[in-house]
Structure 1
Amino acid sequence: MKKLSMILVLATFCLFSCQDKADKVPADDSVEVTGPLEVVKSGTLSNQSGAGTRGTVQLVKDQAGKFYISLSDNFTTKFSTGTVTVYLSTASSLRLNESGSFQLLGLANRPGAHFYELQGNKDDKFTHAIIWCGAAAIPFGNALLE
């Protein structure tokens, strides 16, 4: 019962802190990618914090050799507006106090496909993608990239 109460409190907080506020919602940080892509790694998002997160995360490479993290067409989270961010991480949980253990990719303020260009080459130390609510500082989902 205590666990259920905690989830309800967190979900309520996220509903109000991570939802769309027309004048405060930052732009989506994803980029448009065309052409054939090679899937290097892939993982399925696990839902966390009752956010209803689902979809697939992939590390892909285009014909020019650029790497991207992609969220699938069916990516969604109940609170996909506001401060929902995408990170790469060295673990299944985001450790913001450990420099070098994460890389911020950008915002995911709408459901559906997103692409985030990786600067430089891919870094194999990052094993997970994390969907994070910045306003509530809680995870919305994670995926092991294999």
Structure 2
Amino acid sequence: MKNRTSLLLLATLLAAPALLASCSDNENEPAPQSPTTSTVTPNGNVSTLKTGTITPQNGTPTTGMLTIVRDANNREFVQLADDFKSDFHTGTVTIYLAKATTNIGVQRRADAGSVKVVGLVNKNGKQVFLIDRGLEAFSTVVFYCETAAINFGAAPLQ
């Protein structure tokens, strides 16, 4: 029995890095839309449409402020503030527009139209992500880890 327990513990320890290697794919979830890192930045004057305060979820330190802005070209962006902070031990976190603060995987399985990928974030601090239209259907920005299948944080929009 002792050898069996030791083998189980060893197998668990060896598997742990693979489980935490990246936040980009989970075989148990339906395939999400392909997120990208935005290289587009706002042009000209920007106007603030909505704001949100990120609340950590599932024991992660994801916090900070964000705004939804519109630029002079009528494009909309999620703009993370200087105080944005998360835990990227898994690589990247996917930013979603959502209809609720609940688990993105659960929302996606119930109704794929209830969530929309914005992009990938892998560092702290100020960043901007282009929204591919349709902001009005969503009330929340959620930070989700695909590998762990958990929300890292959520910000209801005001």
TM-score, length-scaled by structure 1: 0.76
Cα offset, 1:96, TM superposition = 1.6
1:80 and 1:111 in contact (8 A); partners too:
no
Distance 1:136 1:17 in 2: 10
* Equivalent of 1:54 in 23, 40, 63: 63
The residue matched to 1:141 in structure 2 has which SS? strand
Distance 2:77 2:89 in 1: 20
Cα offset, 1:17, TM superposition = 3.5
2:81 and 2:127 in contact (8 A); partners too:
yes
Equivalent pairs: percent with the same residue? Answer: 31
1:53 and 1:75 in contact (8 A); partners too:
yes
* Structure 2: gaps of 5 or more residues: 1-15, 24-34
Q: How many residues align?
A: 127
Distance 2:81 2:96 in 1: 15
Structure-2 residue corresponding to 1:130: 142
The residue matched to 2:91 in structure 1 has which SS? coil
Structure-1 residue corresponding to 2:92: 83
Does residue 106 of structure 2 align to residue 102 of structure 1? Answer: no
2:49 and 2:69 in contact (8 A); partners too:
yes
Structure-1 residue corresponding to 2:72: 63
Distance 2:136 2:89 in 1: 28
Structure-2 residue corresponding to 1:40: 49
Distance 1:30 1:80 in 2: 21
2:20 and 2:89 in contact (8 A); partners too:
no
Cα offset, 1:123, TM superposition = 3.0
Distance 2:89 2:157 in 1: 22
Cα offset, 1:38, TM superposition = 0.7
Amino acid at match of 2:66: V
1:84 and 1:132 in contact (8 A); partners too:
yes
4+ long deviations beyond 6 Å: none
TM-score, length-scaled by structure 2: 0.71
Name whichever of 60-69 and 79-88 sits farther off: 79-88
